Structure 1
Amino acid sequence: MPQRVLAGVDEVGRGCLFGPVFAAAVVLPGQAKAPLAAAGLTDSKALSPRHRQRLVPLITAQASAWALGQASAADIDRLGIRAATEMAMLRALQRLPKAPDLVLVDGVLPLRMWRGRQRTLVHGDRRCLAIAAASVLAKQARDALLVRLAERFPGYGLERHAGYGTALHREALVRLGPCSLHRLSFLGKVLSGPRASC
């Protein structure tokens, strides 16, 4: 009897002021779990950047399938953050070579766009290695993109805060105004009036 294919899915960048929200979907075979657990795989937020970087090649080598998806700042402004996050997750799942039999979603909110079987898992990135692997891949891919975008949009410190609403980022927004990849729907409390776009 063939084994069920389970995919863990997670997102990163939901609360940022800048750039896309990223998601990853990961399918881990049973034999991958022990070496990944031994390597310290857990929720990406609990890992140092160096540790996450070391885990990426281990995850991609051990996974039977993995994929990334994203939704742009324009998608977020148009659809809202929940629907855009679901879009990123759906895109990651659709890029897997085979549709999983069950999707394990981090958090409490179901993936409304997914037509297959799914289960939500609170703190899933700490409790399920496939979700933890997805969180690490999504985090590393998004952070790498933000470092590249920092060169295209200098002055915001994107390479330092990855688009989150730090004091440095907020000060730069007030000084420079938003760029084309800022989430305008997130900036109401940051910007008190219209600013010139860079």
Structure 2
Amino acid sequence: MTVDVPAGPGVAGVDEVGRGCLFGPVFAAAVVLDIKAAGRLLEAGLTDSKKLTAKRRQALVPLIEQNSIAWALGQGSARDIDRQGIRAATELAMLRALQRLPEQPSLVLVDGSLPLRPWTGHQQTIVAGDSLSAAIAAASVLAKQARDALIRRLALRFPGYGLERHAGYGTAQHRQALLLSGPTALHRRSFLRRLLGTLD
């Protein structure tokens, strides 16, 4: 990873996971790192969560929590997604994570090309930010691990959908289970209309 973006005590990286899922909330994390902590985490193998195995992500979580100046999580529920749309719900998850930090950051680094519209402070969008910013990469790992852990717990509550295997994404197994059993209360009905027809 090449860190060529701002870093420091007042800079928070924010990232989300779960935008494309059919089930459950979208998760976001916000992480504040100083330069030394970023270096330690990069040496430990921190990078974009999608490039890491589940075992490696799990090993990084305590390192991120211990080395960060601050970190926090936020969610946008399936109901938020159905009511507001996925972009607005994702922004809500990011905003909630940022608002849970002990201090408001002076700059927010947002993964991707779309600005975080509800954020009134300074921000910078970074395409492929989880490969360029240690703080964004750390946020991606925390968000991914937290969401996966929640979905594994919810798989016990909603058996038969294979949630523990696909984390709510639209795999063939998941789609077949939806056709057979219908959606649960935590499925994103706005995402299912094409698959299941009208869900009023």
TM-score normalized with structure 2 length? 0.94
Partner of 2:105: 100
- Structure 2 portions without partners, runs of 5+: 1-7
Structure 2 counterpart of 1:44, which letter? S
Partner of 1:9: 14
Query: Does the residue aligned with 1:60 lie in a helix, a strand or coil?
Result: helix
**Pairing 1:8-47 to 2, within 5 Å after superposition:** 8-47=13-52
Query: Does the residue aligned with 2:71 lie in a helix, a strand or coil?
Result: strand
Runs of 4+ in 1 over 6 A off after TM superposition: none
Counterpart of 1:138 (choices 138, 143, 159) is: 143
Matched, 1:55 2:60: yes
Structure 2 counterpart of 1:170, which letter? R
CA distance in 2, matches of 1:185, 1:25: 27
CA distance in 2, matches of 1:100, 1:65: 10
The Cα offsets for residues 79-131 of structure 1, whole Å up to 9 and x where unpaired, read as 00000000000000000000000000000000000000000000000000000
CA distance in 2, matches of 1:194, 1:87: 24
Query: Does the residue aligned with 2:13 lie in a helix, a strand or coil?
Result: strand
Structure 1 counterpart of 2:58, which letter? Q
CA distance in 2, matches of 1:70, 1:61: 22
Query: Does the residue aligned with 2:15 lie in a helix, a strand or coil?
Result: strand
Q: CA RMSD in A?
A: 1.2
Give the paired residue count.
193
CA distance in 2, matches of 1:194, 1:9: 33
CA distance in 2, matches of 1:4, 1:33: 11
CA distance in 2, matches of 1:160, 1:140: 14
Counterpart of 1:87 (choices 52, 75, 92) is: 92
Partner of 2:188: 183
TM-score normalized with structure 1 length? 0.95
Deviation at 1:4, TM superposition (A): 5.5
Deviation at 1:192, TM superposition (A): 4.0
Q: 1:132 to 1:172 in 2, by over 3 A?
A: same
CA distance in 1, matches of 2:140, 2:198: 36
